Structure 1
Amino acid sequence: MTQIAFLGLGAMGIRMAQHLIDAGHSLTVWNRTESRAEPLLEQGAQWADTPAEAAQGAELVIAMVRDDDASAAVWLDEQTGAFKGMSDNAIAIESSTLSVDWVKELAQQAQQRGKQLIEAPVSGSRPQAQNAELVYLVGGDAHLVNRAEPVLSLMGKKVNHTGEMGSGALAKLVTNTLMGIQVTTIAELIGMLKRQGQDPDAILEAVSTTPVWSKTAGIVRKSMVSEAYDPQFPVDLIEKDLGYCLQAADQVAPMTSAARTVFNEAQEQQLGEWNMTVVAKLYE
């Protein structure tokens, strides 16, 4: 049994943490809203009032939060941050989707404090988190990755070591950018097919038999054709990730920029909390 702290119980985090309880590990949790933790607390998880308190005595400290600012607060706050409570032998695991610059800065901050850190963002959304089918894109020291892998494997089906700190963030941003561009392109094409008086589902069914089709395209097509927009990966999050990718590209990424503009328009139309595929509505 491993003593684990889990910080951030949003739609992804609470599903990931559940697998750690199911595996019999000792789990301490923290979230900005304590009520989110109730299902885990009922199963024996311990509550901590701050990330620092959660990290005390933990062998692994895992964070799954929204963005760079939330990550900074969780790890670095002088009074409540997890680094303050962690032992030097513990491993900090940052699983949030963050900018490359921030991941590198966080690594420097960890080193200055004598803390061990790896990044482990995940590919997959709520269904994959629910079914322990996430794909990990892990950057950092190989020895630390090997130590953490047995626990990461409880929450995902594949753990990829991508290289040094920052490489995991790059892999995750590349993944999400490829996805975001496909989403906006398929939305645009469905709109075009409707204006041509065609059945988009029939046309896309034919296209799906060609080599250009992807698994993501199939999922996106199903969501858009059936107008099923319950949030799996909200517009607000994919827009944030495309922004981080543009930072990494030093703004020299016209396709990424164009896709982000589509998600920006969805936000302006108050669609930010819906699934990213809701951008199909922009072309109706």
Structure 2
Amino acid sequence: MTRVAVLGLGAMGSRMAANLIRAGFQVTVWNRSPQATAPLIAAGARAATTPRDAADGADFVMAMVRDDDASRQIWLDSATGALAGMGPGAVAIESSTLTPGWIRELGSQAASQGVALLEAPVSGTTPQAQAAQLVYLIGGDADTLARATPVLSAMGSSLQHVGDLGAGALTKLATNTLLGIQVTVIGELIGMLQHAGADVGRVLEAVAATPVWSTVAGRIAGLMQAGDVTPQFPIALIEKDFGYTVQQAGSADAVPTIAAARQVFRHALAEGLGKENMTSVVKLFTQKP
């Protein structure tokens, strides 16, 4: 039986691990807060005390954590890091949203230990993770992807191979940036329409009948109009991703539109909205000026 370790059991990682268990893999889980492992243990997983312990004997080790710093800690910590527990020929799968530079560094570290790295960030939030309908944006070599395909297919519906290590991170940052810009624009438009006394729903329905509307725009607008701020993709996380995009571009001046959208999310953080869904930024624009 193929053995898979899952490191990081937040909203996404816990659902991804559950799908691996349902698909029949032998799953070991680790999370910084051990209580998050309980539902997965009940479903048949083994709990590990450290990433290194989780990786010991695993064929595949997958991480889903917050940022570069968390990723570096779980993979490379000298005492508890997962790479130290992986045997030659094992595959590391990094599914977090990270910077291309760190991914390439991690790939070099993994290769020096005989471990292949596949970067596999995902497009989709908690509903897609729950339903095993994630879209994988994959960087790495084709042979490693072929080995990992049965594991990834248990959690996703589409595997998009976009190039070498680093290309997956770039693709994920581009995806999240385009998403976030739509969030801020629709929030601003709803505020403008509301203050103008327009029937917001009716106007947006008309806009949706034109070629400029996107599928995700409809979901964003629907959540904003319903006041649903259940955290599927929290403001704090998408602001982090915008920061990585600006960093990759070299400066805010190189990406002025992206930098401006990031400021909207930073404003929302300052207003205490960081744990709410990204669509909560609409609150910044619907209050009376």
Return the offset for 1:110: 1.5
Query: Does 2:206 align with 1:209?
Result: no
Which position in structure 2 is the counterpart of 1:117? 117
2:268 matches 1:274: no
2:222 matched residue in structure 1: 222
Deviations 1:34-78 (A, max 9, x none): 110101101221011000010011000000001000000010001
Where 1:35 maps in the other structure, the secondary structure is helix
- State the Cα RMSD in Å: 0.7
SS at match of 2:162: strand
Residue 22 of structure 2: aligned partner: 22
Give, in whole Å, the separation in 1 of the partners of 2:11 and 2:64. 10
Q: Following the alignment from structure 2 to structure 1, what is the Cα–Cα distance between the partners of residues 260 and 285? A: 15
**Contact persistence 1:139–1:162 (CA under 8 A):** yes
**How far, CA to CA, are the matches of 2:201 and 2:26 in structure 1?**
48
Q: What displacement does 1:113 show?
A: 2.8
- 2 CA distance for matches of 1:70 and 1:231? 21
Number of matched pairs: 284
Question: Partner of 2:144 in structure 1?
Answer: 144
Q: What TM-score do you get using the length of structure 1 for normalisation?
A: 0.99
Report SS of the residue matched to 1:12. Answer: helix
Structure 1 residue 112: deviation in Å? 2.6
Cα distance between partner residues in 1 of 2:31 and 2:143: 29
8 A contact 1:100–1:244 mirrored in 2:
no
**Consecutive unaligned residues in structure 2, runs of 5 or more:** none
1:1-284 paired onto structure 2 within 5 Å:
1-251=1-251, 252-284=254-286
DSSP 3-state at the match of 2:11: coil
3-state SS, counterpart of residue 138 of structure 2: strand
State the secondary structure of the residue aligned to 2:240. Answer: helix
Residues 122 and 135 in structure 2, CA contact (< 8 A), matched pair in contact too? yes
Amino acid in the other structure paired with 1:174: A
Instruction: Summarize deviations over 1:241-265 as a string: whole Å, max 9, x none.
Output: 0111111111211111011000000
After the TM superposition, which segments of 4 or more aligned residues of structure 1 sit over 6 Å from their partners?
none
* Alpha-carbon distance, 1:114 to partner: 2.7
Question: Is the partner of 1:16 in helix, strand or coil?
Answer: helix
Q: Distance in 2 between matches of 1:218 and 1:273?
A: 22
How far apart, CA to CA, are the structure 2 residues paired with 1:112 and 1:87? 12
Q: Secondary structure at the match of 2:154?
A: helix
* Structure 2 Cα separation of the partners of residues 117 and 100 of structure 1: 13
Distance of 1:102 and 1:168 partners within structure 2: 12
Q: Distance in 2 between matches of 1:255 and 1:150?
A: 39
The one-letter amino acid of 2:258's match is T
Identity %: 56
Q: Which moved more, 1:99-108 or 1:124-133?
A: 99-108
* Aligned AA (1:65): V
What amino acid is the match of 2:146?
N
Q: Unpaired segments of 5 or more residues in structure 1?
A: none
Q: What is the distance in 2 between the residues matched to 1:91 and 1:83?
A: 10
1:200 CA drift (Å) = 1.1
- Conserved in 2, the CA contact under 8 Å of 1:263 and 1:279? yes
